[in-house]
Protein backbone atom coordinates (compact mmCIF):
# COMPACT_ATOMS: atom_id res chain seq x y z
CA UNK A 1 0.00 0.00 0.00
CA UNK A 2 1.31 3.43 -0.96
CA UNK A 3 1.53 5.86 1.96
CA UNK A 4 1.39 9.57 1.23
CA UNK A 5 3.68 10.21 4.20
CA UNK A 6 6.38 8.03 2.59
CA UNK A 7 6.45 9.99 -0.66
CA UNK A 8 8.99 12.79 -1.29
CA UNK A 9 8.18 16.15 0.31
CA UNK A 10 7.65 17.89 -3.04
CA UNK A 11 5.07 15.25 -4.01
CA UNK A 12 3.30 15.68 -0.66
CA UNK A 13 3.21 19.43 -1.27
CA UNK A 14 1.78 18.93 -4.76
CA UNK A 15 -0.91 16.63 -3.34
CA UNK A 16 -1.79 19.26 -0.71
CA UNK A 17 -2.13 21.98 -3.36
CA UNK A 18 -4.29 19.70 -5.50
CA UNK A 19 -6.52 18.86 -2.54
CA UNK A 20 -7.01 22.56 -1.81
CA UNK A 21 -7.89 23.26 -5.43
CA UNK A 22 -10.25 20.30 -5.88
CA UNK A 23 -12.08 21.06 -2.63
CA UNK A 24 -12.59 24.70 -3.66
CA UNK A 25 -13.77 23.77 -7.16
CA UNK A 26 -16.43 21.43 -5.80
CA UNK A 27 -18.18 24.52 -4.43
CA UNK A 28 -18.68 25.70 -8.02
CA UNK A 29 -20.98 22.78 -8.82
CA UNK A 30 -23.86 23.67 -6.45
CA UNK A 31 -23.16 27.38 -6.97
CA UNK A 32 -23.84 26.93 -10.67
CA UNK A 33 -26.77 24.56 -10.00
CA UNK A 34 -25.08 21.61 -11.66
CA UNK A 35 -25.70 19.06 -8.88
CA UNK A 36 -28.18 18.08 -6.18
CA UNK A 37 -27.53 16.41 -2.82
CA UNK A 38 -24.16 14.56 -3.03
CA UNK A 39 -24.17 13.85 -6.79
CA UNK A 40 -21.32 14.91 -9.04
CA UNK A 41 -17.56 15.03 -8.63
CA UNK A 42 -14.39 16.88 -9.59
CA UNK A 43 -10.92 15.35 -9.86
CA UNK A 44 -7.48 16.60 -10.82
CA UNK A 45 -4.24 14.88 -11.73
CA UNK A 46 -1.42 15.57 -9.25
CA UNK A 47 1.50 17.30 -10.93
CA UNK A 48 4.61 15.21 -10.25
CA UNK A 49 8.09 15.99 -11.56
CA UNK A 50 9.13 13.65 -14.39
CA UNK A 51 12.40 13.25 -12.50
CA UNK A 52 10.63 11.79 -9.45
CA UNK A 53 11.70 8.18 -9.98
CA UNK A 54 9.46 5.51 -8.54
CA UNK A 55 6.64 7.91 -7.61
CA UNK A 56 3.25 6.68 -8.87
CA UNK A 57 0.91 8.89 -10.86
CA UNK A 58 -1.90 10.14 -8.62
CA UNK A 59 -5.14 12.10 -8.74
CA UNK A 60 -7.40 13.70 -6.15
CA UNK A 61 -11.18 13.17 -6.14
CA UNK A 62 -14.22 13.75 -3.95
CA UNK A 63 -15.15 11.07 -1.40
CA UNK A 64 -18.37 9.18 -2.13
CA UNK A 65 -21.67 10.33 -0.64
CA UNK A 66 -20.30 13.28 1.34
CA UNK A 67 -22.33 16.51 1.48
CA UNK A 68 -20.89 19.47 -0.38
CA UNK A 69 -21.11 21.47 2.85
CA UNK A 70 -18.74 18.98 4.48
CA UNK A 71 -16.13 18.89 1.73
CA UNK A 72 -12.70 20.23 2.63
CA UNK A 73 -9.13 19.73 1.48
CA UNK A 74 -8.42 17.27 4.29
CA UNK A 75 -11.14 14.84 3.16
CA UNK A 76 -10.30 14.82 -0.54
CA UNK A 77 -9.25 11.28 -1.47
CA UNK A 78 -5.96 10.49 -3.23
CA UNK A 79 -5.90 7.61 -5.74
CA UNK A 80 -3.52 5.93 -8.16
CA UNK A 81 -4.38 5.83 -11.86
CA UNK A 82 -5.76 2.34 -11.23
CA UNK A 83 -8.46 3.99 -9.14
CA UNK A 84 -7.14 2.61 -5.86
CA UNK A 85 -7.10 4.83 -2.78
CA UNK A 86 -3.70 5.22 -1.16
CA UNK A 87 -3.06 5.72 2.55
CA UNK A 88 -3.63 9.46 2.32
CA UNK A 89 -4.45 10.30 5.93
CA UNK A 90 -8.22 10.16 5.49
CA UNK A 91 -10.33 7.66 7.46
CA UNK A 92 -10.90 4.24 5.87
CA UNK A 93 -14.63 4.98 5.78
CA UNK A 94 -14.02 7.72 3.20
CA UNK A 95 -14.21 5.79 -0.05
CA UNK A 96 -13.48 7.46 -3.40
CA UNK A 97 -16.37 8.62 -5.58
CA UNK A 98 -18.36 5.89 -7.33
CA UNK A 99 -17.12 7.43 -10.60
CA UNK A 100 -13.45 7.00 -9.68
CA UNK A 101 -12.89 4.14 -12.16
CA UNK A 102 -14.14 6.37 -14.99
CA UNK A 103 -11.88 9.25 -13.99
CA UNK A 104 -8.89 6.90 -13.64
CA UNK A 105 -9.47 5.41 -17.08
CA UNK A 106 -9.54 8.88 -18.65
CA UNK A 107 -6.26 9.83 -16.97
CA UNK A 108 -4.61 6.59 -18.06
CA UNK A 109 -5.61 7.01 -21.68
CA UNK A 110 -5.62 10.78 -22.27
CA UNK A 111 -2.26 12.21 -21.28
CA UNK A 112 -3.26 15.83 -21.90
CA UNK A 113 -6.19 15.66 -19.48
CA UNK A 114 -5.49 17.09 -16.04
CA UNK A 115 -9.05 17.44 -14.74
CA UNK A 116 -12.35 15.55 -15.02
CA UNK A 117 -15.83 16.63 -13.87
CA UNK A 118 -19.14 14.76 -13.75
CA UNK A 119 -22.51 16.35 -13.01
CA UNK A 120 -26.19 15.59 -13.44
CA UNK A 121 -27.05 19.14 -14.50
CA UNK A 122 -30.69 19.25 -15.55
CA UNK A 123 -30.66 20.35 -19.17
CA UNK A 124 -27.48 18.55 -20.25
CA UNK A 125 -28.78 15.38 -18.59
CA UNK A 126 -32.10 15.78 -20.42
CA UNK A 127 -30.19 15.67 -23.72
CA UNK A 128 -28.30 12.64 -22.43
CA UNK A 129 -31.61 10.98 -21.51
CA UNK A 130 -32.60 11.26 -25.17
CA UNK A 131 -29.13 10.05 -26.28
CA UNK A 132 -29.01 13.16 -28.45
CA UNK A 133 -26.00 15.34 -29.24
CA UNK A 134 -26.37 19.08 -28.71
CA UNK A 135 -26.03 20.68 -32.16
CA UNK A 136 -23.63 23.60 -32.62
CA UNK A 137 -26.13 26.39 -33.22
CA UNK A 138 -24.48 29.06 -31.05
CA UNK A 139 -21.21 30.92 -31.44
CA UNK A 140 -20.37 30.19 -27.79
CA UNK A 141 -20.63 26.48 -28.60
CA UNK A 142 -18.24 26.90 -31.51
CA UNK A 143 -15.89 28.85 -29.23
CA UNK A 144 -15.83 26.41 -26.33
CA UNK A 145 -16.66 23.03 -27.87
CA UNK A 146 -15.54 23.35 -31.48
CA UNK A 147 -18.76 21.79 -32.73
CA UNK A 148 -21.55 19.60 -31.42
CA UNK A 149 -21.43 18.20 -27.90
CA UNK A 150 -21.37 14.45 -28.65
CA UNK A 151 -23.17 11.55 -27.02
CA UNK A 152 -21.26 8.62 -25.57
CA UNK A 153 -22.54 5.04 -25.18
CA UNK A 154 -24.70 3.79 -22.36
CA UNK A 155 -22.55 2.21 -19.64
CA UNK A 156 -23.12 1.01 -16.09
CA UNK A 157 -21.35 2.47 -13.05
CA UNK A 158 -18.96 0.24 -11.16
CA UNK A 159 -16.05 -0.42 -13.49
CA UNK A 160 -14.22 1.51 -16.20
CA UNK A 161 -16.98 1.12 -18.83
CA UNK A 162 -17.95 4.78 -18.52
CA UNK A 163 -14.33 5.82 -18.81
CA UNK A 164 -13.94 3.77 -21.98
CA UNK A 165 -17.00 5.46 -23.46
CA UNK A 166 -15.67 8.91 -22.58
CA UNK A 167 -12.29 8.23 -24.17
CA UNK A 168 -13.75 6.59 -27.29
CA UNK A 169 -16.09 9.54 -27.83
CA UNK A 170 -13.73 12.42 -27.06
CA UNK A 171 -10.52 11.06 -28.56
CA UNK A 172 -10.06 13.06 -31.75
CA UNK A 173 -12.89 15.44 -30.81
CA UNK A 174 -12.44 19.12 -29.97
CA UNK A 175 -15.26 18.99 -27.44
CA UNK A 176 -14.26 18.92 -23.76
CA UNK A 177 -17.74 17.57 -22.94
CA UNK A 178 -19.57 14.33 -23.63
CA UNK A 179 -23.14 13.38 -22.77
CA UNK A 180 -23.04 9.77 -21.62
CA UNK A 181 -26.29 8.23 -22.81
CA UNK A 182 -29.04 8.11 -20.18
CA UNK A 183 -26.55 9.19 -17.54
CA UNK A 184 -25.23 12.74 -17.79
CA UNK A 185 -22.34 14.99 -18.81
CA UNK A 186 -18.65 14.41 -18.22
CA UNK A 187 -16.13 17.13 -19.01
CA UNK A 188 -12.36 17.21 -19.28
CA UNK A 189 -9.72 19.91 -19.25
CA UNK A 190 -6.05 20.69 -18.89
CA UNK A 191 -6.81 21.03 -15.18
CA UNK A 192 -9.85 20.76 -12.94
CA UNK A 193 -10.75 24.44 -13.32
CA UNK A 194 -10.96 24.08 -17.10
CA UNK A 195 -13.12 20.97 -16.71
CA UNK A 196 -15.47 22.81 -14.32
CA UNK A 197 -15.75 25.69 -16.78
CA UNK A 198 -16.66 23.21 -19.52
CA UNK A 199 -19.35 21.71 -17.25
CA UNK A 200 -20.85 25.15 -16.60
CA UNK A 201 -20.79 26.02 -20.31
CA UNK A 202 -22.24 22.64 -21.26
CA UNK A 203 -25.28 23.20 -19.06
CA UNK A 204 -25.70 26.76 -20.32
CA UNK A 205 -25.80 25.78 -23.99
CA UNK A 206 -27.96 22.72 -23.27
CA UNK A 207 -30.54 25.00 -21.68
CA UNK A 208 -30.37 27.66 -24.39
CA UNK A 209 -30.68 25.20 -27.28
CA UNK A 210 -33.56 23.47 -25.47
CA UNK A 211 -35.49 26.74 -25.31
CA UNK A 212 -34.60 27.61 -28.91
CA UNK A 213 -36.04 24.32 -30.14
CA UNK A 214 -39.37 25.17 -28.53
CA UNK A 215 -39.82 27.67 -31.39
CA UNK A 216 -38.48 25.45 -34.18
CA UNK A 217 -35.26 23.74 -35.18
CA UNK A 218 -32.36 26.24 -34.99
CA UNK A 219 -29.93 26.08 -37.93
CA UNK A 220 -26.48 24.63 -37.31
CA UNK A 221 -23.57 26.99 -37.90
CA UNK A 222 -21.56 26.17 -41.03
CA UNK A 223 -18.47 24.09 -40.30
CA UNK A 224 -16.10 26.68 -41.81
CA UNK A 225 -17.49 29.32 -39.47
CA UNK A 226 -17.29 26.93 -36.50
CA UNK A 227 -13.62 26.31 -37.27
CA UNK A 228 -12.93 30.05 -37.50
CA UNK A 229 -14.74 30.82 -34.24
CA UNK A 230 -12.99 27.98 -32.40
CA UNK A 231 -9.56 29.08 -33.59
CA UNK A 232 -10.16 32.71 -32.58
CA UNK A 233 -11.46 31.81 -29.13
CA UNK A 234 -8.75 29.26 -28.37
CA UNK A 235 -5.79 31.22 -29.77
CA UNK A 236 -6.66 34.93 -29.83
CA UNK A 237 -9.41 35.70 -27.27
CA UNK A 238 -8.45 37.00 -23.82
CA UNK A 239 -5.23 38.31 -22.32
Catalytic residue among 99, 105, 118, 160: 118
**One of 143, 191, 227, 231 is an active-site residue; which one?**
143
109 assigned to active site = no
In the residue annotation, 92 being an active-site residue is answered as: no
Walk across the sheet containing 177-180 and list its strands: 77-80, 58-61, 41-45, 115-118, 184-189, 177-180, 151-152
Contact 78, 88 (CB under 8 A): yes
Is residue 183 part of the annotated active site? The answer reads yes
Q: Which residues pair with residue 157 across a beta bridge?
A: 159
Which residue is catalytic, options 105, 123, 160, 183? Answer: 183
Torsion sign over Cα 159, 31, 67, 18: positive
Which one of the listed residues 120, 210, 227, 233 is annotated catalytic? 120
237 is catalytic: yes
143 a catalytic residue: yes
Catalytic residues: 118, 120, 143, 183, 237
Amino acid sequence: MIRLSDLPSDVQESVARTRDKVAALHAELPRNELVVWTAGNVSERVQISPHADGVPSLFVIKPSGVSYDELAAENMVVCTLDGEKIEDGTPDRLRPSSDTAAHAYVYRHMDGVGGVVHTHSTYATAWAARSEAIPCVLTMMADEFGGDIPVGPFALIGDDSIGRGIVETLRGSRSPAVLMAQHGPFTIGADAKAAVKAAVMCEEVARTVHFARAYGEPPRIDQEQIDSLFDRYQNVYGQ
